[in-house]
Structures are given as structure tokens and as C-alpha cells.
A and B are shown apart, each in its own frame.
Chain A
Amino acid sequence: MNLPGWVAEASSFRDPNGYVYYWGGAPFRRINKEHEKHYERLLQSGLYEQLVQQRWLVPHQEVEAHSHPGDGAYKTIAPERIPFISYPYEWCFSGLKDAAMLTLNIQKKALDCGMTLRDASAYNIQFLHGRPILIDTLSLGVLEKDQPWGAYRQFCQQFLAPLLLMSRRDPRLNQLCLTELDGIPLRLARTLLGRHAYLSWSAFVHILLHSRCEEYSSVRFVKTATRDGRFSERAFRGLVDSLESAVDNLTLKQSVSQWSNYSTDSASYSDVSLQHKIQTVRHYLERSQAREVWDLGANTGTFTRMACQAGARVIAFDQDPICVEANYRQCKIERLDVLPLVLNLANPTPAIGWQNRERRSLLQRAGADTVLALALIHHLAISHNVPLPMLADLFAEMGVWLIVEFVPKDDPKVQLLLQNREDIFSHYTLQEFEGTFSRRFTIEDRTSIIGSKRTLFLMRRRSACR
């Protein structure tokens, strides 16, 4: 573990069967001898091939080991690299639902091959080319006869409970997973669901009764069940089927929010201005030759999809879960390589877990070619009182190129923000904006949007400013 160039993945320490590390920036997964029979079954049963063909499991190649010989290693595999790791507390409802359905579909396929998912962690699912995919090859193990599903509780805590809460209570409630690393405790889910825990069959069984059983199980009961219990394959399939129906039937009740109709309702632009803005952004995207774009304050994704159609892989952030949901659904229909995530830029995702290293913060994952910040600056500078130099710092930390729109104080939208509050923003001027951002970026181009007071800029980060 002390070889030069070898970097351990901070979240990969719980499974004794192997771990992930990086070598020259590329990910590798070490498989220990304990996992040999499971890995061989995965390959020989044809399950690996089926899952990879469906793009349900990340493909890998067996490679020469980088670690010391004779330390319990069985094999080393090089899985396909996932360009951006996202977390369940950043996903929208449909993203989490698709990840849950994928987990259950993989479990069904695994059962056909005499295997099972030993983990049902939502963190084992990532998004690649706009679709969820299982990244933990070692989570598939040989099915032990007559044993119940070891990952049932984990599935309920990490998928079913947050989905039920998002569906029945509030679409932001998956963010509880930020403080509850193992998923939402069933008892907490039961309390928050209130009457809904009784009104829905799946919530009643998989959350309410399940949590009560956890609370009241005593040594005697557990021992009796372990000794005499037999969990048939039919029961196993029944359990998975019951969870599948539960997840499949969930929908997001809320479909409109303060921001979801923003682009259509609020006339920030005339048709001519909007067309000019679209043309300019498209031109800037081409100039920056972006392969990975971060669209900040993406709303329902008009410019996200434009960047994607220009050939970039886009991560689209917005703080409104309903907007992110709409963007996710549309991109799914159009099969675009876009990952819409919920994010409040004024309070971005923190690092959490063991030693604060297990799940990384947003900025630790930053590395876009181009950052899009359209119709955003005024919200951060005025609504959140963030000084312009700090905005420049943030964007410089996120990416190399910046396409940013300056919305001046006399713009009707800024006037709305300033209504009923004291104007303490004497520095919020175009001149000050250019001066401040010039310290971090070189201004490559600027365009005043026709028929509007707004200005679009194409900037490039100064090389020493990361």
C-alpha cells in the first residue's frame, strides 16, 4: 500500500473482499482471495456478460496487480472510469428511482444465475452517459441457500425510505442522507411519513412493520429464526417483486415550483434577445471546445441541452429539485449525456463520512472545462450578499473557461431583488465586475445582448489561479 503512484480511494475500506485504488489517475479494483468463488461465479454464470451488455454493470478488464504480491490478492481489475461521482443526496426523485429500479433489476438477474447483491448501497450506483450503472463489481456474490436478503434493510434505508419521503412529503428529503450516511433510519422515516406510513401498503410493510421488528427483535427471536428459518427462492423473488412494485408506483406529486416555469413565464428576454443570447453562448461553447461543462443554475436545462448537443458532457446544477427533476426527465427522453443534480451554490455539498473523506465535497470533485453561469450572478451577489471577488474565486476553482452573464442593477430582475431592501451593493457594476474577474480570468470576448442591458463574457482562467 506504499507504492509510489498508488492512491487509495477513501470510501473503499468497509469490504474485506477488496478495495479500489488509483494508479496514474485511473481506477483499479483489487479482489482478495476471499472473493474468488464469487468473482468466478459472476464470470462463469454469464451474469457479468449479461449485465455489461445491458450497461447495468460497469465493464472491466483484468490487469496485472500493482500491489505487493502475496498479500491476499486474487486479481486486479480495471473498471471503466466514471467521469464524475455524484451522491444520492444530490439526485432528483427520478434519478434515485431509476437507481433503485436498476438495483432491483440486477438483483432479479442475479437470482437467475444463483447470485445475489450483497450490498444495495445507493453509492454503488453512478450515472454514466445519462443512465444509472452499478460500479461495485464485488457487491455480487453467490446466493446462499435459504438465506434472506442481507441487503434488504440497506435497500429500504437508502432507496425506499427517501423515495417515499420525497413522494409523499417533500422532494428535498433525500438530503437527509447527508446526515444519515447509511440511509434514512427506518424509524425516522416512519415518524416523518406519519399517516402515510399506514396509508400505503409498501410503506406499512417495508418501513413501519420493518422498523418495529428492528426495535423489538430480541436475542431469542433472532436465534430461533436463524436456527429454524428457511427463506425460499420464491420468497426471495417475492420480496424483490414487492419492492419493485413499491418503487415503481411512486411518483412525485409536486411538479411545479417557484422556478420551474421561470424560463417560460418570466419575460427576462424578448425573442430577439433570447435568440442573440443562444447564438452567443453556442459560439462561446465552440470556442472553449468544452468536453465537460458545468451548468450552474441550469433551471430546466435549456442551455444544458444546448451544450450537450454541442458535444459536451454536462453536469447541470440547480437548487430547485423540481427544476432538476424536469431537466432529468427531458434529458432521459432525449438520451443526452447530462447529469442534473440538486445543489445550492451558496452552501455546496460538503465532504462527509469517515474522517470527512468518504464522500467528497463538490469542490473536491471540480474540474470542468467550461463553467456556464447564465442569469446567475445577480442571485448570488444580491440575494446572498456574496462579494464579486468571491464569485470569481468560486468559478476559477470549478473550471478553466467561464461563460458568464452580467445582469446589471437596472435590469428589471435585479430591481425586483432590490425591492423592499436597502441597496448596499455600490460595487455591483459592470466596470467593477470586469475589473474583479480580470484578476482571476483573462476576458477573451464580451457581447452585449441585443435589446437587453445584460452582457455575456467568455473568460479563461489565468494559469496560476486554480
Chain B
Amino acid sequence: MTHKHAILALEVGALLLLAPAHQAYAYIDPGSGSYLFQMLLASLVGVAFALKRCWLRIKNFLKRNSRKETL
């Protein structure tokens, strides 16, 4: 995550937590918010996905070994 991204994430994070409920920008297409949200989510879901794949590989490896032992 670059420096700019970090600032952006902080700004949006603060807004999400602190801003009053009705402060919406009516003329911004809600899809833009979704776009921005995915950008903020990118690192989190990317890392989670990589970790999940690693874990599945380890699990499969262990399973294969235990099967060999029982055979």
C-alpha cells in the first residue's frame, strides 16, 4: 500500500466511523463509492485469499501424508 493509499484509507475510515448518517453526496453515483470501497478492501481480501490458499495447500499436504501412513 502506497503512502497515498494509506492517507486515503485513513480519511475514509474516519468518515465511515465519525460522519453523521445523512451526509451523503447525492450526485455521486453510488457505484463510485463501491469502486472506492473495493480499492480500500483490495489489500485485505488479497492477503486473506493468499493465506487461505496457503492453508489449503498445507491441509492437503497433511491429508495426503496421513493417508500414506494409514496405507
A222-B32 contact in complex given A148-B39, A210-B37, A213-B40, C-beta closer than 8 Å:
yes
Complex Cα distance A235/B32, Å?
18
A213-B34 contact in complex given A218-B25, A228-B2, C-beta closer than 8 Å:
yes
Give per-residue flags for B2-26: 1 if the beta carbon is below 8 A from chain A beta carbons, else 0.
Answer: 1011001001100110010101110
What distance in Å separates the Cβ of A233 from its nearest Cβ neighbour in chain B? 9
Please give, as numbers and ranges, the residues of chain A lying within 8 Å of B2 by CB-CB distance: 228
Complex Cα distance A98/B35, Å?
26
Complex Cα distance A130/B12, Å?
45
Is B49 touching A221 in the complex (CB atoms < 8 A)? no
Complex Cα distance A179/B41, Å?
30
In this complex, the member of B2, B16, B36, B43 whose beta carbon has the largest number of chain A beta carbons within 10 angstroms is: B36
Q: Which of B4, B33, B41, B47 contacts A217 (CB 8 A)?
A: B33
What distance in Å separates the Cβ of B21 from its nearest Cβ neighbour in chain A? 8
Q: How many A-B residue pairs have CB under 8 A?
A: 113
Please give, as numbers and ranges, the residues of chain B lying within 8 Å of A152 by CB-CB distance: 34, 38
What distance in Å separates the Cβ of A344 from its nearest Cβ neighbour in chain B? 32
Is B23 touching A239 in the complex (CB atoms < 8 A)? no
Is A235 touching B45 in the complex (CB atoms < 8 A)? yes
Kindly state whether residue B50 has any CB partner on chain A within 8 Å: yes
Kindly state whether residue A149 has any CB partner on chain B within 8 Å: yes
Kindly state whether residue A13 has any CB partner on chain B within 8 Å: no
Please give, as numbers and ranges, the residues of chain B lying within 8 Å of A214 by CB-CB distance: 24, 30, 33-34, 37
What distance in Å separates the Cβ of A157 from its nearest Cβ neighbour in chain B? 10
A205-B25 contact in complex given A222-B32, A238-B48, C-beta closer than 8 Å:
no
What distance in Å separates the Cβ of B70 from its nearest Cβ neighbour in chain A? 30
Kindly state whether residue A224 has any CB partner on chain B within 8 Å: yes
A residues near B, CB below 8 A?
148-150, 152-153, 156, 205, 209-210, 212-219, 221-222, 224-226, 228-232, 234-235, 237-239, 241-242
B residues near A, CB below 8 A?
2, 4-5, 8, 11-12, 15-16, 19, 21, 23-25, 28, 30-50, 52
Given contacts A232-B46, A235-B43, 16 further A-B contacts (CB under 8 A): A148-B38, A210-B37, A213-B12, A213-B16, A213-B33, A213-B37, A216-B12, A216-B19, A217-B33, A221-B11, A225-B36, A234-B46, A238-B45, A238-B49, A239-B38, A241-B49
Task: Please name 24 pairs of A and B residues whose Cβ atoms are closer than 8 Å in the assembled complex, sorted by A.
Answer: A148-B42, A149-B38, A214-B34, A215-B25, A216-B15, A216-B23, A216-B24, A218-B28, A219-B28, A222-B33, A224-B4, A224-B8, A225-B36, A231-B38, A231-B42, A235-B41, A235-B43, A235-B45, A238-B46, A239-B38, A239-B41, A239-B42, A239-B45, A241-B49
